[in-house]
Amino acid sequence: MSTFPWKYELSDHSCSIYAGDLLSKYTNVSGTPLQIEAVTDTTLRIHARTLESFAVEQRPKLTGTLTAVSPSDDLPQEKTACDAALRTAFTGTASSDASQNNQSLLTFATKTLQISLDDELHLQICSVDGTPLCSDYTGKLQEAESLTEEEIEQMRQEGHVVHAGDDACRFQITKSLYGDEVFYGLGDKTGFLNKMGYDYTMWNTDNPDPHVENPTFKALYKSIPFFITLRKDCVYGIFFDNHYKTSFDMGYSSTDYYSIGAADGELDYYFIYGDTIADVIKNYTALTGRCPLPQLWTLGYHQSRWGYSSQQEVLELAENFINNDLPCDVIHMDIDYMDNYKVFTVDKNKFPDLSGLSNTLQDKGIRLVTIIDPGTKVEKGYHMYDEGVRNHYFAQTPEGDIYENVVWPGDSVFPDYTSSTVRNWWGSQTKLLVDQGISGIWNDMNEPASFRGPLPENVVFPGDDIPRLHKEVHNVYGHLMAKATYEGLKETSGKRPFVITRACYSGSQKYSTAWTGDNQSIWTHLKMSIPQLLNLGMSGMPFVGTDIGGFGSNTTPELLCRWIQASCFAPLFRNHCAKFSRCQEPWQFDRQTLDIYRTYLKLRYRFIPYLYDLFYEESQTGMPIIRPLVMHYQNDPEVYECNDEYLVGDRILVAPVTDQGAHVRPVYLPEGIWVDYWTKERIEGGKYILRDAPLDICPIYIKAGSIIPTWPQLNHIPDGGAKELILEYYTSDAPAEYCHYQDNGTDFSYENGEYNIYHFHIDSDGHLTTSMDHQGYDHLYDAVRLSAH
């Protein structure tokens, strides 16, 4: 075997390969080594950074170890198997032919992965037993079909949108497809669960047209450049940490490869391995962060509408909830509460006493959340504008003037959240709202969206030290705004901040919840909401929801009923709609709609302690709250593309109706015994069943043997939770266990040990015993009851 031709250095945690110009072929840079680092023994970072590129978040410490396999003086015996497999994968030829191939290989390994490079720097990652997991594609790339200028002009004349040359990549990573891949994740994209065969763009986009499935909608509001690849025998994730415009061609151009490209910036990606999808999510969120424990009330029902515009209207709304016996914890105030859409102001004519209003409502168990956009009104004498101008807090033109565009307030300027000083300033403004009793902040329009065309790529964000252009900042603008808001609220309120954002980047989960933006009151959007939320969860964003009832256009009573059912376990549980669309509060239609709506609000409220436990689990492991079936039944191919069911944790299965007029639906139950929540019928899984689903029924199943903590019926969530816990036990012959988390549900005292973990055990005779795994919060339950089914 010949020796690897490039100079390289292998240290404990990383390998640097100096391959001069060759590298520029793959990465757009030369004169820098290609670095392969063992972040852990299952997560590799592959990068070639030259520029002082802007790290929005801290880079991970390297804790994995690398050892040389080849070339090496003392080659371990096991290497040969992997070597042969590698050659096959690289050359596409059977291993007997491969011996004639003269490729030089550099191979090194962590405890779980073997990494090899050929003399052209193609990378191959195998498991230690030699099974190829992921390898650079070495064949010919498909040429993109190109249109002549004339053809493009003709197409445009007929009204077609032609994106010619929009998505030029400066560099691209291309990986072989083995033919058994299913792709999940990629944040918030339209369409179904499996992303195989489609191409996507990461460029935070506010497009009010109905979001239809690919190919028209390649980008929505969020850029989460992370996906999970499930193959027959393995699962891994790739996180491409580049926040310029990037593209993900998931086997769209060719069935031989998939590719990831970037318009600019650097090669920097992570290969994240695990035994299960859950492992990969755990490892990905170990890199990018997890959603911290929320305040308990945030798990309740939220009512919103763009158009609530007076103190009286908000008060009446709250009273309507109370008088109709409808659970509700939060009312959202959209842009109409502000004085001329000026952020961090309140219209004193419409809301003469916001503090009084929030106090009155809080006494009734309802809190207020207000919207805040980034666009800051150009107006001398307005404190945000004056302070921002004086201190150079706003984005600039290349000539150094303040950059202006138009948003709700008219002429507007854009805070430079890349600067920590600006973030602190922005965050400190939250005090104005917190002091008036506001409990959370909803960040909108932070892609950033603008009315007079998009922000040009060369708008300058001066930052703390190095100025950055809009093309580099765009995809993290909303992320940094959410971070500023989170840190500000934490400081000014002392509580666990409640932030909702529309635009996101990988890691936004540390600061914010998110909603999927402007959907429409159409059945396809109800249907799409399930894979949308599930893929967001698998992309590390667990606290998410869609606008229940639909934002744009007009809902129908039937659609509203089906939407509240489908969302009854959605982590963020909010009904919201647009100003010019029909009102969709639960009492706007007939008696039946109101009753059905109430049933599902009440159902949700019973399960709050279970949801809170899932949030606790998520904060420790990154596991999403609602999960696709494949996360728990990875060996059952029947669930790989299950788009219309989801699991809540690992033990509740929800199969909503998402078709108009449907009153029966097929439900796939994976292996095990499932108990119908409504009838308590026990059904052996591993098959499809047909379930009657009249308008008032959303099919729900509980896995036999489960303990689920619930509360007595409440219409508002008290701080610290209910005083009584009811353990719903769905019996089985085997003993059952469950760990339940409890704390004050509001602040950070849990970080000092002020929480309880109850360990419930039910033996095969049905006897409950309770022990404490941790005891630090002194408000224990007054009673714990067992209710067996």
Phi, psi of 185 (to 5 degrees): 100, -135
Q: Is the peptide bond before 448 cis (omega within 30 degrees of 0)?
A: yes
663, 688 Cβ separation under 8 angstroms: no
3-state secondary structure 113-134: EEEEECCCCCEEEEECCCCEEE
Instruction: State CA 138 to chain mean position distance.
Output: 33
Site for ligand MIG in 284-323 (CB under 6 A): 306
| Cα angle, residue 254 at apex, residues 251 and 256 outer, rounded to 5° | 85
Residue closer to ligand MIG, measured from CB, 505 or 515: 515
Tell me: does residue 441 bind ligand MIG (CB under 6 A).
no
Task: Determine whether 763 is an active site residue.
Answer: no
Shortest gap between Cβ of 410 and ligand MIG (angstroms)?
Answer: 14
CB-nearest residue to ligand MIG: 306
Tell me: does residue 517 bind ligand MIG (CB under 6 A).
yes
Tell me: does residue 188 bind ligand MIG (CB under 6 A).
no
Residue closer to ligand MIG, measured from CB, 518 or 728: 518
Rounded CA gap, 595 and 195, in Å?
38
Shortest gap between Cβ of 306 and ligand MIG (angstroms)?
Answer: 3
Residue closer to ligand MIG, measured from CB, 282 or 576: 576
Site for ligand MIG in 535-554 (CB under 6 A): 551
Shortest gap between Cβ of 500 and ligand MIG (angstroms)?
Answer: 10
Shortest gap between Cβ of 577 and ligand MIG (angstroms)?
Answer: 8
Site for ligand MIG in 648-687 (CB under 6 A): none
Residue closer to ligand MIG, measured from CB, 525 or 632: 525
In what order do the strands lie in the sheet containing 7-10?
Answer: 7-10, 14-18, 34-38, 43-48, 267-274, 235-240, 226-230, 182-185
Task: Determine whether 518 is an active site residue.
Answer: yes
463, 419 Cβ separation under 8 angstroms: yes
Q: Which of 444, 613, 617, 644 is catalytic?
A: 444
Tell me: does residue 488 bind ligand MIG (CB under 6 A).
no
Who contacts 456 (Cβ-Cβ below 8 Å, separation ≥6)?
470
Judged by CB under 6 A, the residue of 518, 558, 728, 743 near ligand MIG is 518
Residue closer to ligand MIG, measured from CB, 588 or 732: 588
Size of site (CB under 6 A) for ligand MIG:
11
CA dihedral of residues 337, 343, 344, 345 (deg, nearest 10): -50
Rounded CA gap, 346 and 558, in Å?
37
Q: Are strands 43-48 and 504-505 parallel, antiparallel or unpaired?
A: unpaired
Task: Name the residue type at position 79.
Answer: K
Task: Determine whether 684 is an active site residue.
Answer: no
Residue closer to ligand MIG, measured from CB, 517 or 537: 517
Residue closer to ligand MIG, measured from CB, 372 or 611: 372
Q: Which of 447, 613, 618, 645 is catalytic?
A: 447
Site for ligand MIG in 333-362 (CB under 6 A): 334-335
Task: Name the residue type at position 785.
Answer: R
* Among 296, 328, 299, residue whose Cα is nearest residue 496: 296
Shortest gap between Cβ of 445 and ligand MIG (angstroms)?
Answer: 6
Shortest gap between Cβ of 625 and ligand MIG (angstroms)?
Answer: 22
Strand locations in 553-597, DSSP E? 574-575
Q: Are strands 756-762 and 707-710 parallel, antiparallel or unpaired?
A: unpaired
Q: Which of 83, 373, 518, 585 is catalytic?
A: 518
Shortest gap between Cβ of 226 and ligand MIG (angstroms)?
Answer: 24
Interface residues with ligand MIG (CB under 6 A) are 306, 334-335, 371, 444-445, 502, 517-518, 551, 576
Catalytic residues: 444, 447, 518
